[in-house]
Amino acid sequence: MERVVVVISAPRRRRSPAWFGAETRRALAAGLAVAGLALVAGWPYWRDHPGAAAITLVSCAGLAVVGVLLATGGRTRRTGLLFLTASVCWAANWAASWDAGIGPIMSPYAQAEFYLALGVGVLMYPSGRLEYPVDRIWTAAACVILLVCPTALWVTSKPEWAAFRGESVWWPAPFPDFELFQTVLQVSAVLYLLLALSFAVVLLLRLPRMGRLRRLLTLPVTGALAFVGISAAVTQKPIMEASIPLDDLLQVYVVQGAVVVLVPLTLLASGLRLRIGELTVAGRMLRLTAPVSVERVRDALRDVLHDPTLELWFWAPMEETYVDTRGRPADIDPDFERDIDPGGEAGRWRHRVVSASGDRLAVVELGGALRYHESLVEAALVAGGRALETARLQASVHAGLEQVRSAYRRLVRAETVERERLARDLHDGAQQRLLALGAMLGTLEAVTDDPVVKEHARTCRAELVEALGELRALAREVQPALLAQDGLGPALEVVAERLGTRVKLDVTGRRFSREIESTLYSALCEALSYAVERARASEVLVRVGAEGGRLVAEVSCDGAGGPAAGPADLPGLSGRLRALRGHVEFDGGPGRGTTVRMDLPCE
Amino acid sequence: MRVAVAEDSGIFRQALVTLLTTVGIEVVVSAASGDELVTRVAGDPPDVAIIDLHMPPTYTNEGVVAARRLLDRHPGTGVLVLSAYNETPQAMELFRDQPRGVGYLLKDHVTDVENLRSALERVMRGEVVIDPDVVSRLVEARHREHELARLSEREREVLALMAEGHSNAGIGKRLHLSARTVEDHVRAIFTKLKIVSSGGPPGPQDSNKRVLAVLTWLRAADAR
């Protein structure tokens, strides 16, 4: 009989606090190790200078800790490794204090590579690459200078000239020449200074090309490192002379090491700031999105993500498309590619937002700079989740309205075309036939000698003219021929002449699209006949003008007789204008006259 | 009298030609469009061309365009534009540049033979003819009611006939007045209404320019 043993292990209880995870422990261990290395390397000097020892060990350890922490992040991995290398180099640099063995010859290399690693590390922060050509050129130049100069040092000198004891130091010195050595020192000093200054310039050049958020993060580090670089070059100057005491040299190293502490400190500050940003983003989103509206959600996202170019589209399930904040369908493939424009900082990318139940909710399009801060974007979208869901409902209502509006608009367009056709039919068909009949009656009247027939023909003609008048009134209501040819002004002039009330016209000569002219014409006719018949106006002023992309028409009259006008009095008018995204305002009351103001977009 | 007709509606054109022929007016060309008429009368212009205002392709002002072209080529020819609608701006457009030998008649009045014949004759003589309905609507439009109130009944009648394009003699004949009396009325009207004519001092002798001045005055709304 076989026995099956199932081992159920109890879940490991977590003893340490959340922040004290494996990464933190690893970082602290690395810091301690590097500090230990520095302690050993500089022991002869530390014995007499405990203060300097403390500063240097803290600086080395701090740099190593930041390095390891950065190395755990995806994009900042290289920067982290370079910082770790820099901290080891700085510790190794102190081997010079033994004044024996290979320590002194190694020290200038260690110092040079320390600055190199630090500089390149910062250039790679936070994207993990040398993004700009200037960065790469500077890095190449720095590599050459920081290798050649320490080499030229020992090639042309004896150790005594370089602050070391001759007998115990391993120092090959193949071509010792004091004058040449002095020249090498001077040239090196100038090159170091140039390197430091050009590094500051390279850092400044990067700033304008960064997104707002990234600039906020990089600015302190850039400032700190520019300061470190220049102070290093300046403090290096006095020791670039022949025959200085070893103590002076090491003292300069202490100062340089102390200044370097700035770099890890500012990096930590930036990291903290980012983390605080992620933590506070929820509160800010909630504050900025109340009360929820489509635009407010978008503006809140723009605000918390420091990206004024951010765009937001909502999924409209009924229409099965994404719509913009005004409810208009947007041309976005539901299965879009993430990177729509992979151009680094200048590029753009899209992020799909889904609801808690996994349904499509929205799409955010962001500037390339935010690619490096996806956690921040994620935090903002999660915090704004409720607001986004509410806004999506609003957006889909907008989308529905938009559909109704465009359907109505198509209807108005179809109606305009139909009116034109009808008017033409009346003109070509019925009217011509009646007119021909009139001419025939005229002929009959002319040829007959019978006075009774003549009289009958004349009566028929008179009746015919009446009928023609009625037919024409109908055709004019449908679509006046003058409107299509000469526009609103002349067409309204004819209307005004027929009203029998004094009408002042102030109408722009500009032409607009067929449906706008046709709609406004019938709206104005309606308003005019309202003014005359209902408000019993004796004087009417009609003004039509285009102002900043909107066509504004105003009918004001002195009609004090009727009650105050409202949309209910002119229902056809309001509906037609709304179909073209226009609106109507009424103003007036007994004793004040009446004003109907219509405006609609005309571009 | 030799007449050419341009009218897109076949049925009305046919009836019009029959009417004209019946009353002894010779129709030399009967065309379906303004272009066709201008082409066909090129060698031998008629005394008067009757042109429909609304014709294809746009049914807006083809008649005015054709009238202009015809008058450019044959300045001696009279043109009578027919319109189914009483539209002042169109009429003004026709008289703007050339107030000689042109007329604007509503199609309703074409069916009255005497009306038609008198309009054709006046246009042939180089006079201006404006349909009485156009004028009466302008007078009734009350743009100018305050100024018109200053005129006497008789002066208003003279004003209307003047606007229709009648000469002093024509006005006199219609109202049974002497030429001298008509002249006095005309002068009084021009002074009372402060009409300034491009044809010279108030009460110009050139009845065509006078028509234009009166029509312009009647049409001008206060706001313009």
Instruction: Establish if B110 touches chain A: CB-CB under 8 angstroms.
Output: yes
Closest CA to A400 of A319, A298, A498: A319
Domain match, B13 and B121 both = yes
Q: Kindly identify which residue of chain B lies nearest to residue A541, measuring between CA atoms.
A: B223
Domain match, B19 and B64 both = yes
Pairing relation of β-strands A539-547 and A360-367?
Answer: unpaired
Contacts of B16 in chain A (CB under 8 A): 436, 439
Q: Is residue B32 part of a domain?
A: yes
| Residue contact A502–B145, C-beta within 8 A | yes
Q: Kindly identify which residue of chain B lies nearest to residue A476, measuring between CA atoms.
A: B85
What is the tally of structural domains in chain B? 2
- Length reported for chain A: 603
On whether the CB atoms of residues A558 and A538 are closer than 8 A, the answer is yes
Of A435, A485, A505, the CB nearest to B12: A435
Q: Give residue limits of the domains in chain A.
A: 22-274, 284-401, 408-478, 483-601
Q: Which ipTM was obtained for this model?
A: 0.83
Least Cα separation, residue B56 to chain A (angstroms): 10
Q: What is the DSSP string of A561-598?
A: SSPPP-GGG-HHHHHHHHHTT-EEEEEEETTTEEEEEE
Q: How far apart are CA A67 and CA A30, in angstroms?
A: 9
Q: How far apart are CA A363 and CA B103, in angstroms?
A: 68
Q: Is residue B194 part of a domain?
A: yes
* Position B28 confidence tier, pLDDT thresholds 50, 70, 90: very high
Q: What's the predicted TM-score (pTM) here?
A: 0.49
Instruction: Establish if A476 touches chain B: CB-CB under 8 angstroms.
Output: yes
Q: How far apart are CA A62 and CA A118, in angstroms?
A: 13
Least Cα separation, residue A346 to chain B (angstroms): 53
Interface of A with B in 490-529 (CB under 8 A): 490, 493-494, 496-498, 500-506
Residues of chain A below pLDDT 70 = 1-20, 74, 166, 211, 242-243, 334-346, 559-569, 590
Tokens linked to B55: 């014709």
Q: What is the DSSP string of A37-99?
A: HHHHHTHHHHTT-HHHHHHHHHHHHHHHHHHHHHHHSSTTHHHHHHHHHHHHHHHHHGGGGG-
pLDDT of residue B6: 94
Contacts of A468 in chain B (CB under 8 A): 84, 108
Q: How far apart are CA A553 and CA A491, in angstroms?
A: 15
Find tokens 């002194």 and name the residue: A104
Q: What is the DSSP string of A12-37?
A: PPP-S-TTSSHHHHHHHHHHHHHHHH
- Give the torsion sign (CA, A374, A379, A384, A388): positive
Instruction: Establish if A539 touches chain B: CB-CB under 8 angstroms.
Output: no
Across the A:B interface, residue pairs with CB atoms under 8 Å apart total: 122
Interface with A, mutate which of B8, B19, B62, B83 (most A CBs under 10 A): B19
Domain match, B123 and B15 both = yes
Q: How far apart are CA A255 and CA A442, in angstroms?
A: 120
Buried b (16+ CB within 10 A) or exposed e, A194-216: ebbebbbebbeebeeebbebbbe
Domain match, B160 and B119 both = no
Domain match, B32 and B91 both = yes
Task: Please give the sequence-ordered ranges of beta strands (E in DSSP) within B89-216, or none if there are none.
Answer: 102-106, 129-130
Q: How far apart are CA B42 and CA A251, in angstroms?
A: 112
On whether the CB atoms of residues A323 and A330 are closer than 8 A, the answer is yes
Cβ-count burial of B32 within 10 angstroms (0-12 exposed, 13-18 middle, 19+ buried)?
middle
pLDDT of residue B200: 45
Segment (H or E) for A340: strand A339-341
Domain match, B14 and B120 both = yes
pLDDT of residue A487: 86
Domain match, B58 and B155 both = no
CA distances from A546 to A486, A509, A510, A552, A601 (A): 17, 10, 8, 6, 9
* Position B25 confidence tier, pLDDT thresholds 50, 70, 90: very high
- Give the torsion sign (CA, A544, A545, A551, A557): negative
pLDDT of residue A124: 84
pLDDT of residue B202: 44
Which residue range forms the structural domain that includes residue B211? 135-219
Q: Is residue B224 part of a domain?
A: no
Q: Is residue B70 part of a domain?
A: yes
Interface with B, mutate which of A424, A443, A458, A463 (most B CBs under 10 A): A443
Beta-bridged to residue A323, according to DSSP, are A314, A329
| Residue contact A447–B22, C-beta within 8 A | yes
DSSP letter, residue A161: G
Buried b (16+ CB within 10 A) or exposed e, A301-327: bbebbbbeebbbbbbbeeeebbbbbeb
pLDDT average, residue stretch B104-112:
89
For the CA atoms of A405, A408, A413, A419, what is the dihedral angle to 10 degrees? -150
| Residue contact B223–A505, C-beta within 8 A | yes
Pairing relation of β-strands A348-354 and A339-341?
Answer: antiparallel
- Length reported for chain B: 224
**Which CATH number belongs to the domain containing residue B213 in this structure?**
3.40.50.2300
pLDDT of residue B176: 92
pLDDT of residue A398: 82
On whether the CB atoms of residues A35 and A21 are closer than 8 A, the answer is no
pLDDT of residue A407: 83
pLDDT average, residue stretch B83-98:
75
Q: What is the pLDDT of residues A75-131, one digit of tens each?
A: 778 888 999 999 999 888 888 888 888 888 888 888 889 889 988 988 887 777 888
Domain match, B28 and B72 both = yes
> Over pLDDT 70: what percentage of chain B?
88
On whether the CB atoms of residues A557 and A541 are closer than 8 A, the answer is yes
Q: Is residue B36 part of a domain?
A: yes
DSSP letter, residue A9: P
At A506, the amino acid letter reads D
Domain match, B72 and B158 both = no
pLDDT of residue A12: 54
pLDDT of residue A584: 86
Cα angle B158-B164-B201, degrees, rounded to a multiple of 5: 65
Q: What is the DSSP string of A388-439?
A: HHHHHHHHHHHHHHHHHHHHHHHHHHHHHHHHHHHHHHIIIIIIHHHHHHHH
| Residue contact A440–B15, C-beta within 8 A | yes
pLDDT of residue A127: 74
Q: How far apart are CA A115 and CA A60, in angstroms?
A: 13
| Residue contact B85–A481, C-beta within 8 A | yes
Query: A66: number of CA atoms within 13 Å, CB side?
Result: 29
Domain match, B125 and B167 both = no
CATH class of the structural domain A483-601: alpha beta
Q: What is the pLDDT of residues B36-83, one digit of tens each?
A: 999 999 888 999 999 998 888 777 788 888 998 998 899 889 999 998
On whether the CB atoms of residues A289 and A384 are closer than 8 A, the answer is yes
On whether the CB atoms of residues A22 and A74 are closer than 8 A, the answer is no
Contacts of B112 in chain A (CB under 8 A): 442, 461
Q: How far apart are CA A135 and CA A276, in angstroms?
A: 30
Q: What is the DSSP string of B106-137?
A: EHHHHTSHHHHHHHHHHHHTT--EE-HHHHHH
pLDDT of residue A8: 55
Q: What is the pLDDT of residues B146-170, one digit of tens each?
A: 778 888 888 888 888 888 888 888 8
Q: How far apart are CA A526 and CA A521, in angstroms?
A: 9
Contacts of A482 in chain B (CB under 8 A): 60, 85, 87, 89-90
Interface of A with B in 542-581 (CB under 8 A): none
CA distances from B31 to A369, A437, B39, B123, B189 (A): 74, 20, 10, 20, 42
The residue among B82, B101, B130 that closes a domain is B130
pLDDT of residue A182: 85
Instruction: Establish if B85 touches chain A: CB-CB under 8 angstroms.
Output: yes
Q: Note the maximum CA span of chain A.
A: 155
Find tokens 């004058």 and name the residue: A179
Q: How far apart are CA B86 and CA A488, in angstroms?
A: 17
Interface with B, mutate which of A494, A539, A557 (most B CBs under 10 A): A494
Closest CA to A84 of A74, A69, A94: A69
The residue among B130, B151, B184 that closes a domain is B130
The residue among B114, B130, B146 that closes a domain is B130
Enumerate residues 6+ apart whose C-beta is below 8 A from A225: A118, A119, A122, A199, A203, A262, A263
| Residue contact B12–A500, C-beta within 8 A | no
Least Cα separation, residue A307 to chain B (angstroms): 53
Q: How far apart are CA B6 and CA B38, in angstroms?
A: 9
